Amino acid sequence: MERGVIEVRDLVKYYGGRCILDGVDFEVPTGCIYGLLGRNGAGKTTIIRILMGLETATRGRTFLLGENSRRLEPRQKSRVGYVAEAHQLIQNYKVARLVALCKGLSRRWNDKFFKQLMDTFRLPMERKVKELSGGMRAQLNLALAMAIEPEVLILDDPTLGLDTVARRQFLALAIDLIQRDGRTILFSSHILSDVERIAERIGILVAGKLVVDCSLDELKNRIKKLRVIFPQDAPTDLHMTEIIRQSNSGREMVITVANWNQQKKAMIETFKPASCDEIPMSLEEIFIECTHPEPMPDQI
Amino acid sequence: MNVRILNRCRTKYNSRDIKMFTLIKRELIDNIALLLLAAIVPAIIITIVIKGVLEGVAYLPIGIPVIMVRILWPYLLCGAFVAAGCGAAQMNDDSQRKLSTFLSVLATTRGRIFIARTVLGVMLILIMFVPLVVTDVVLLKIFARPVPLDMNFLIRSFATILATFVCCYAIGLQVGWRSSKLMAILFGVALSAALILVVAIKGFGVESIIILVLFTVASLIWTWHKFLSLPL
């Protein structure tokens, strides 16, 4: 079997005795756009930093393009584009100097494409990076990452801190660039609508554990939110596995279940409900259901 | 076929050299102020030497003008502190501006970034050291000596000074990864002062050189290991 372009195997990371990643295991196949989701501090950036060789793992291994990411050679790195969280570029360099540095260190540099991007973004080459707005820095970072024509693109919350207009502009262009060449992409974000627009496969991190790792369609099929109305009060003795959330209110029961199947459906039908309707869920709603630490006070 | 393989190898090595040159050039431009500082120190010392020699040459029994020997200690002290300060400033600048964080995700390695940094260090040390040697040699050639010259003493002195500069620079790199630039430089200078005591106790000679070389190797290995494994 062909190995994934990005592989994370049993990844564990401790910071000062606190467990940040607890046995994370996933794979991104060639050409796949993988959206990594999680709340603040869930460990998304840590995974990406370990993948990029900026951080060491306490246990486990990560592979990029089939090589251990701790020991990536420049040859392999030249095939990976990286847009860091908060766009950590060299702040006191002029844009032109930063571009020259990246160009000088790259093995492939598509000058024509880069110029096109710079024209589109209208980035001033003579201004210092620190004088650019957050949106401009994001665009510069994306342009630098794309100019090397990477086979793998790693985007760590690239729209963080951007206003709505800048975020939309950035994403529109990113989607266009990403879809053009069928690249493998690992994309982490807080903004789930962004991920939903781009990602084919989703990973959801909760407190350092990967609780979801499947395709977006599969996720939507597997996690169901149902509104069940019973002839009398909703039963409190519904013992079903993999209930993510359940709330009862008089005759109504709203239940979110993982791995929805015929057996679970049959189990609900034994209580003879008057109606059982599926409530459509967006990725954002699924994410909230999966990552909410504990049931709301009014819920069971 | 063989020619093609050879050409491919040549392209590969050329490309690697160019990337290394890019890293060294970046270090050079970013640290131009340090290079200027390193040039000012010998300029001042050389001015003093020439002034001293022009005022009247007094020779030691080993054939060396007194002023040249008197100047060795100030040169050693100033140079060592500048070397340590430059090493610490270079490393601290990296940590504060997250230069390696940016560079290491490009098509290079941390090892190469470190090598480029030490290449600049070597240049810095040579800028401080070579003018002293050249000036002394030229002056010794120009002025006739009443007694034969003890070249051995001169070589041992120069070698000790060079070893001290290199060692202090290595110590500077080692202590530079701190939150405050001023503290990093002060710490580097303080450790250099301790190293200079070794020369003060052992004198300019082989024993001092051996101790300094051992310190340099240990310090560089530690910094290399730390730099390669440190979270950026």
Residues A212 and A148 reside in one and the same domain: yes
- Rounded to two decimals, what is the model's pTM? 0.81
Give the position of tokens 């053009």: A180
Does B232 touch chain A if contact means CB atoms closer than 8 Å? yes
**B contact test, residue of A95, A101, A107 with most B CBs within 10 A:** A101
The answer to the question of residue A285 being in a domain is no
Q: Which residues does chain B have within 8 Å of residue A101's beta carbon, measured at their own beta carbons?
A: 22, 26
Residues A159 and A243 reside in one and the same domain: no
Whole-number Å distance between alpha carbons of A62 and A56: 10
Residues A230 and A263 reside in one and the same domain: yes
CB contact under 8 A, B101 and A54: yes
- Say which DSSP state B65 is in: B
- Report ipTM for this prediction: 0.78
> How far off is chain B from A104, nearest CA to CA, in Å?
6
Facing B108 at nearest CB: one of A52, A92, A105: A105
Question: How far is it between the farthest Cα atoms of chain B?
Answer: 70
Q: Which residues does chain A have within 8 Å of residue B32's beta carbon, measured at their own beta carbons?
A: none
Residues A159 and A258 reside in one and the same domain: no
Give the amino acid at B50: I
How many CB contacts within 8 angstroms connect chain A with chain B? 59
Whole-number Å distance between alpha carbons of A70 and A77: 11
The answer to the question of residue A290 being in a domain is no
Among A264, A274, A262, A230, CA closest to A244: A264
Single out the residue in A199, A217, A235 at which a domain terminates.
Answer: A217
Contact B219, B173 (CB under 8 A): yes
Scanning every residue of chain B, which has its alpha carbon at the shortest distance from the alpha carbon of A145? B106
**Which tokens hold the place of A295?**
């049931």
> How far off is chain B from A280, nearest CA to CA, in Å?
41
- What pLDDT is stored for residue A244 in this prediction? 82
Query: Phi then psi for A278, rounded to 5 degrees?
Result: -85, 135
Is residue A84 predicted with pLDDT exceeding 80? yes
Residues A117 and A254 reside in one and the same domain: no
> How far off is chain A from B204, nearest CA to CA, in Å?
43
Whole-number Å distance between alpha carbons of A242 and A256: 9
Whole-number Å distance between alpha carbons of A79 and B106: 9
Contact A105, B23 (CB under 8 A): yes
User: Strand pairing partners for A291?
Assistant: none
Q: How many alpha carbons lie under 13 Å from residue B185 in its C-beta half-sphere?
A: 12
Whole-number Å distance between alpha carbons of B115 and B124: 14
Residues A189 and A271 reside in one and the same domain: no
Q: Looking at chain B from residue 21 to 40, which residues have their Cβ under 8 Å from any Cβ of chain A? A: 22-23, 25-26
Of residues A241 and A57, more confidently modeled: A57
- What pLDDT is stored for residue A8 in this prediction? 92
Contact A51, A8 (CB under 8 A): yes
Q: Which residues does chain A have within 8 Å of residue B22's beta carbon, measured at their own beta carbons?
A: 101, 104-105
Of residues B135 and A25, more confidently modeled: A25
Does A289 touch chain B if contact means CB atoms closer than 8 Å? no
Band of pLDDT at residue A294, cut at 50, 70 and 90 = low
Does B96 touch chain A if contact means CB atoms closer than 8 Å? no
Among A63, A32, A6, A47, CA closest to A209: A47
User: Strand pairing partners for A227?
Assistant: A254, A277
CB contact under 8 A, A105 and B106: yes
Whole-angstrom CA distances from A1 to A4, A61, A67, A201 are 9, 19, 16, 19
Residues A156 and A110 reside in one and the same domain: yes
The 10s digit of each residue's pLDDT in A108-126 is 888 888 888 888 778 888 8
Contact B227, B110 (CB under 8 A): yes
Contact B137, A124 (CB under 8 A): no
Residues A20 and A68 reside in one and the same domain: yes
Q: Looking at the 3D structure of chain A, how many domains does it have?
A: 2
Whole-number Å distance between alpha carbons of B124 and A54: 29
CB contact under 8 A, A101 and B22: yes
Does A22 touch chain B if contact means CB atoms closer than 8 Å? no
The 10s digit of each residue's pLDDT in A225-268 is 888 888 888 887 777 778 888 888 888 888 888 888 888 888 88
CB contact under 8 A, B107 and A77: yes
- What pLDDT is stored for residue A298 in this prediction? 38
- What pLDDT is stored for residue B60 in this prediction? 67
Q: Which residues does chain B have within 8 Å of residue A102's beta carbon, measured at their own beta carbons?
A: 106
Give the amino acid at A175: I
The answer to the question of residue A200 being in a domain is yes
The 10s digit of each residue's pLDDT in A60-75 is 999 998 888 888 888 8
Mean pLDDT by 10 residues, chain B (232 residues): 48 63 91 90 83 71 70 85 91 88 89 93 92 82 71 86 94 85 84 88 90 94 91 82
**Which tokens hold the place of B225?**
């290991």
Helix or strand (DSSP H, E) at A109: none
Q: Mind spelling out the 3-state secondary structure of B148-195?
A: CCCHHHHHHHHHHHHHHHHHHHHHHHHHCCCCCHHHHHHHHHHHHHHH
The residue range of the domain holding A32 is 6-217
CA dihedral of A64, A69, A71, A72, whole degrees rounded to 10: 40
Contact B84, B171 (CB under 8 A): yes
The residue-averaged pLDDT of A26-32 equals 88
Given the DSSP bridges, would you call strands A152-156 and A80-83 parallel, antiparallel or unpaired?
A: parallel
Q: What is the CATH number of the domain that holds A140?
A: 3.40.50.300
Whole-number Å distance between alpha carbons of B3 and B210: 47
User: Strand pairing partners for A213?
Assistant: A203
Given the DSSP bridges, would you call strands A59-64 and A67-68 parallel, antiparallel or unpaired?
A: antiparallel
**Which tokens hold the place of A245?**
């959330």
Residues A107 and A146 reside in one and the same domain: yes
Residues A186 and A55 reside in one and the same domain: yes
Contact A30, A5 (CB under 8 A): yes
CB contact under 8 A, B107 and A84: no
Band of pLDDT at residue A299, cut at 50, 70 and 90 = very low
**CB within 8 A of A36, min separation 6: which ones?**
A44, A47, A48, A186, A187, A188, A189, A203, A205
Contact B108, A102 (CB under 8 A): no
Facing A74 at nearest CB: one of B19, B25, B229: B19
Scanning every residue of chain A, which has its alpha carbon at the shortest distance from the alpha carbon of B97? A90
Residues A156 and A37 reside in one and the same domain: yes
Is residue A101 predicted with pLDDT exceeding 70? yes
Query: Phi then psi for A193, rounded to 5 degrees?
Result: -65, -35
Residues A187 and A49 reside in one and the same domain: yes
